[in-house]
C-alpha cells in the first residue's frame, strides 16, 4: 500500500493542489516518522512540530482562499543546522553555540518558504561544517539508514538521512568541499552542488573563499531540480552571481528534455597524495562510464597532469581561513572538537600574505583548469575514494590533525569543483553486493546546471534508483 512518504516532493505538491491530501496530513505523517525512527539515525538536531503544523494550517488557508499557489505548497522539508532560521535555534553543530537563536532567516530559508515548503526543523551537521562526516557533541552521529553502523557522510549528513529514511522528500544542504555530494553518495540520493553564485548566501553569508553554496538533496532528479528552482537567485550585494536562466526556463524543465550527445571525460586525478580508489568505487565509476557510452555519449580519459601539488597547499590555507573567524570566545575554545580547534589554530596562525597567496593560487588554477577541460561537456569523477566509513573511523585514535588527514584521503575529489565553482551532481547508479549505494559525480561547464540535470535525468530513466529504500522505509510511522 502506498504511504505518503512514498510520494516524491512533486507528487506530494500535486496531491495537495488536487485536494487529495492536506499539508497537515503530510506534516503529521513526517513528524510521526521522525519521532519513531530518528533516535537511531540522528537526522535532526532540532525538530519544530508546532511551527510546522502552524505553517501547514496557513498553507491550507491559502488553498481555501484560492488564487495562484506556490509550486511546492505543503511539502515538508528541513533546513541544515548551519543555516540561520529566525526564532529557531541554530547550533552550527557546536556546544559553544548550542543556544544560539538567530533573529533573521538566511535567504535560502526565505526562498524555500516562499515556494510553499514547510520546514520540520534543523538537520544534523558536524561542528561548523568542517568534516566530511557528520558527528557532533550535541546529538552524535548521523547514521546511514542502509547500515546504521556507518557514518552518513557530511557535512549535510542529517539532511541526507532525513531524505533517505523517508522523513522528508527533499532537504536543503550546503557544500563547501563535497558536503552535499558525499552524503548523497553514501545515502543513495541525488545531490546537486550548484554553480558559484547560483544561490545567495544572504543576508549574513560572507564567505570570502567562494567555496560554499546551498543545494538540494532528493530521491529523484526532478525533485532536486524543483528544489533548486525554489532556492536559486541572487540577492543585492552577493559576492558572485551566476547568469540567470533564459526567460521562461526552469531547472525542472531541463529534467524533461534530452541532453543531446555529450563528450565526457573520465577524471580520476587527485591533488591528494596517496588517494587510491577502493575496488567498489572503481566499479561504480566503470558502471557509470559504461552507461554513458550505452546512451550514446563519447567517454574518454581526461588528459593527465591538470593538477599540481600547489593546489592542495593553497586549498588547505583557504579552508583554514574561516576557522580564524569562528564565533568562539577564547575561554570556550577548549569545548571545540579537535578538528575544529586544529583548523581554527591554523587559520589564526596564517599571515595575511599567506592567505592572499592561497586565494590567488586557487583563482589562477581555476582559470587554467577550466581552459584545459573546455573541450568536454562533462567530467565523470568519483565522489569518495572509499565505501561508507564506520562510525569512529575518522576520530578514533586521532587528534585534530590526523582527523583532517583522514578527511582528505576519503574526500580527495569533490573539493576541486568548489574551487572552480562548477556545478556538480552525485547520482546513485551503483550498489555494492552488501546493498550500500555508491554515487558517481558528474561535473558540468560553469553555470550549466541545466545540462547536468538533463543528463542525470537521462541516467535515472535508464537505470532507476528511486524504488530502492533502506530498511527503515517500510517501518511503521509510529
DSSP state of 475: S
Instruction: Kindly name the residue from 156, 174, 179, 426 that is annotated as catalytic.
Output: 179
Listed in sequence order, the residues at least 6 apart from 300 whose beta carbon sits closer than 8 Å to its beta carbon are 263, 264, 265, 266
The sign one gets for the Cα dihedral 194, 378, 267, 373 is negative
294 burial (CB, 10 Å; 0-12 / 13-18 / 19+) is exposed
Of 248, 239, 276, the C-alpha closest to 384 is 276
- Distances from the Cα of 422 to the Cαs of 160, 244, 328, in angstroms? 22, 15, 32
What residues have CB less than 8 Å from 85, skipping those under 6 apart?
79, 102, 105, 106, 109, 119, 122
- 419, containing H or E segment: helix 416-420
Cell of 234: 541572487
Distance CA(228)–CA(234), nearest Å, equals 13
To the query of whether residue 80 is one of the catalytic residues in this protein, the response is: yes
Q: What are the C-alpha distances in Å from 147 to residues 155, 240, 309?
A: 18, 39, 36
DSSP state of 199: B
Query: Under a CB-based contact definition with an 8 Å cutoff, are residues 429 and 459 in contact?
Result: yes
Specify whether 408 is catalytic: no
Which of 94, 119, 155, 426 is labelled catalytic?
Answer: 155
Cell of 4: 505518503
- Say if CB 136 and CB 123 are below 8 A apart: no
Quote the longest CA-to-CA distance of the chain. Answer: 63
CA 164 to chain centroid: 13
Gap between the Cα atoms of 191 and 179, Å rounded = 9
Angle of the 9-18 helix axis to the 49-65 helix axis, nearest 10: 50
CA 136 to chain centre: 18
Active site residue 214: no
CB distance 156 to 426 below 8 Å: no
List helix spans (H) across 260-414. 279-294, 309-321, 338-349, 352-372, 400-410
Active-site residues, by number, are 80, 155, 179
Amino acid at each position: 500500500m502506498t504511504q505518503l512518504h512514498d510520494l516524491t516532493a512533486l507528487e506530494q505538491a500535486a496531491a495537495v493542489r488536487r485536494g487529495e491530501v492536506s499539508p497537515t496530513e503530510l506534516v503529521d505523517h513526517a513528524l510521526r516518522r521522525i519521532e519513531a525512527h530518528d533516535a537511531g539515525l540522528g537526522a535532526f538536531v532540532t525538530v519544530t512540530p508546532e511551527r510546522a503544523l502552524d505553517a501547514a494550517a496557513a498553507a491550507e488557508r491559502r488553498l481555501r482562499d484560492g488564487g495562484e499557489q506556490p509550486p511546492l505548497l505543503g511539502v515538508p522539508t528541513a533546513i541544515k543546522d548551519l543555516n540561520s532560521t529566525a526564532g529557531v535555534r541554530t547550533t552550527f553543530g557546536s556546544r559553544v553555540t548550542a543556544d544560539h537563536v538567530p533573529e533573521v532567516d538566511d535567504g535560502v530559508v526565505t526562498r524555500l518558504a516562499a515556494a510553499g515548503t514547510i520546514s520540520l526543523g534543523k538537520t544534523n551537521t558536524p561542528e561548523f561544517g568542517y568534516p566530511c562526516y557528520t558527528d557532533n557533541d550535541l546529538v552524535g552521529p548521523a547514521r546511514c539508514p542502509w547500515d546504521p553502523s556507518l557514518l552518513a557522510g557530511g557535512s549535510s549528513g542529517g539532511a541526507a538521512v532525513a531524505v533517505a529514511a523517508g522523513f522528508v522528500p527533499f532537504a536543503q544542504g550546503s557544500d563547501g568541499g563535497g558536503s552535499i555530494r558525499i552524503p548523497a553518495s553514501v545515502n543513495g540520493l541525488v545531490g546537486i552542488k550548484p554553480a558559484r553564485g547560483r544561490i545567495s548566501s544572504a543576508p549574513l553569508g560572507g564567505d570570502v573563499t567562494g567555496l560554499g553554496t546551498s543545494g538540494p538533496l532528493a530521491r529523484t532528479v526532478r525533485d532536486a531540480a524543483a528544489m533548486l528552482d525554489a532556492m536559486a537567485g541572487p540577492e543585492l550585494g552577493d559576492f558572485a552571481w551566476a547568469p540567470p536562466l533564459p526567460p521562461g526556463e526552469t531547472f525542472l524543465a531541463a529534467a524533461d528534455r534530452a541532453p543531446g550527445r555529450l563528450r565526457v571525460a573520465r577524471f580520476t586525478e587527485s591533488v591528494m597524495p596517496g588517494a587510491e580508489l577502493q575496488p567498489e568505487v572503481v566499479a561504480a565509476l566503470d558502471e557509470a562510464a559504461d552507461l554513458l557510452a550505452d546512451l550514446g555519449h563519447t567517454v574518454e580519459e581526461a588528459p593527465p597532469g591538470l593538477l599540481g601539488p600547489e593546489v592542495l597547499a593553497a586549498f588547505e590555507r583557504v579552508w583554514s581561513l574561516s576557522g580564524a573567524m569562528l564565533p568562539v570566545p577564547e575561554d570556550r575554545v577548549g569545548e571545540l572538537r579537535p578538528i575544529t580547534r586544529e583548523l581554527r589554530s591554523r587559520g589564526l596562525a596564517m599571515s595575511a600574505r599567506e592567505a592572499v597567496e592561497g586565494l590567488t593560487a586557487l583563482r589562477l588554477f581555476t582559470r587554467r583548469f577550466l581552459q584545459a577541460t573546455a573541450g568536454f561537456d562533462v567530467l565523470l569523477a568519483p565522489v569518495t575514494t572509499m565505501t561508507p566509513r564506520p562510525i569512529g573511523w575518522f576520530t578514533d585514535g586521532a587528534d585534530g590533525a590526523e582527523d583532517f588527514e583522514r578527511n582528505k584521503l576519503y574526500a580527495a575529489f569533490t573539493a576541486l569543483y568548489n574551487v572552480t565553482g562548477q556545478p556538480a551532481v552525485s547520482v546513485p547508479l551503483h550498489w555494492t553486493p552488501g546493498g550500500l549505494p555508491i554515487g558517481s559525480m558528474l561535473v558540468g561547464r560553469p553555470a550549466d546546471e541545466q545540462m547536468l540535470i538533463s543528463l542525470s535525468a537521462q541516467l535515472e530513466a535508464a537505470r532507476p534508483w528511486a524504488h530502492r529504500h533502506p530498511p527503515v522505509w517500510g517501518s511503521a510511522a509510529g
